[in-house]
Amino acid sequence: MTRTRQWLYGWLMLLPAMSLLVLFTHYPAVANLWHSFYSTPKASRPSVFIGLDNYRNLVEDPIFWQAFTNNLIYAAGTIPLSIALALLMAIWVNGRIAGKGFLRLAYFTPTVLPMIAVANIWLFFYTPEYGLVEQISKGLGFPSHNWLGSQSTALGCLMVVTVWKEAGFFMIFYLAALQSMSPHLAEAAAIEGASRWYYFRRVTFPLLMPVTLFVLINAVINAFRLVDHIVVMTRGGPDNATSLLLYYIYEIGFRFWDSSYAAALTMVLLVMLGLAALAQFVFLERRTHYQ
């Protein structure tokens, strides 16, 4: 094939996918920045250039800061816990343990369910007076507590749901890596008389590092991307205690219809995701040096 024909084929085959990507990923990201410098059009007056006013409002908006802090707490709480549990589950399911098939099924099932269904089930779990959580805590003699209705516990309750939903998903990636690990390593370690913990710390865990990175990046993205359960369980309440960044964008953009301010908020989210991308790039660079 001639060079020009190669070029032509390459470009033509890319064209359909690329145009959709530009239309629904690249264009909106750029247009979003553009629109964040304008005011929201109203019936009486059209959209006008207002410079950084949206960002000034943002810095002074206590609810934005609360949603932002909530999101960081949410990420810091759910990510390490679900990764640690995922690793533990994978090691258990990979070893010689009774009822392995059932265990794997139990850990993985929440992953297949829609977050919205999961949220409905857990909402019932947390219901004051009737819910299973209340029944158990009352049975143990604790006073009644409105888990989702009080500011101190609501975010924690949502974090539990997220860990429950995600750990089994991450387990799969660890399991795949564990299964492809050479048995010679374990033999060598056994001959050297290494303890199980030592073997995990010095052999298994370092070898799983690429998986941990992959899972970590996915977990970070999910912490900023998935707010379905908030729509169902708390609607950001009580008093914004469970509002996350994307949920706040949804509220501003589609309940108060302030699209310009929502655009400015989206920029913050894009910056956070960009930072995650940068971190991944830096770490992957380091990994290639290593090998």
Distance in angstroms (rounded) separating the CA atoms of residues 19 and 87: 40
Indicate the DSSP class of residue 16.
H
DSSP three-state, residue 142: coil
Closest CA relative to residue 158, chosen from 251, 235, 261: 235
Stretch that binds other proteins, among 43-51, 68-76, 147-155, 264-272 (CB under 8 A): 264-272
Non-local (6+) Cβ contacts of 180 within 8 A are none
Closest CA relative to residue 266, chosen from 73, 119, 67, 77: 67
Q: Tokens 């949410």 appear where?
A: 74
Total interface residues for other proteins by CB under 8 A: 104
Q: Does 74 bind other proteins (CB under 8 A)?
A: no
Distance in angstroms (rounded) separating the CA atoms of residues 93 and 101: 8
**Could you say which of 254, 256, 282, 285 contacts other proteins (CB under 8 A)?**
254
Q: Does 110 bind other proteins (CB under 8 A)?
A: yes
Minimum gap (Å) between residue 50 Cβ and other proteins: 17
Site mask, other proteins, residues 21-60, x = CB under 8 A?
Answer: x-xxxxxxx-xx--x-------------------------
Q: Which is nearer to other proteins, 76 or 176 (CB)?
A: 176
Distance in angstroms (rounded) separating the CA atoms of residues 29 and 146: 40
Gap between the terminal Cα atoms of the chain: 37
Q: Which of residues 116-145 bind other proteins (CB under 8 A)?
A: 116-118, 120-122, 124-125, 127, 130-132, 135
Q: Rg of the chain's alpha carbons, rounded to an integer?
A: 24
What are the tokens at 111? 């992953």
**Could you say which of 80, 114, 156, 206 contacts other proteins (CB under 8 A)?**
114
Q: Which of residues 183-222 bind other proteins (CB under 8 A)?
A: 183-184, 186-187, 189-191, 194, 196, 199, 214, 221
Distance in angstroms (rounded) separating the CA atoms of residues 200 and 87: 11
**Could you say which of 76, 113, 209, 282 contacts other proteins (CB under 8 A)?**
113
Q: Which of residues 267-286 bind other proteins (CB under 8 A)?
A: 269-270, 273-274, 276-277
Q: Which of residues 154-173 bind other proteins (CB under 8 A)?
A: 164, 168-169, 172-173
**Could you say which of 16, 46, 62, 143 contacts other proteins (CB under 8 A)?**
16
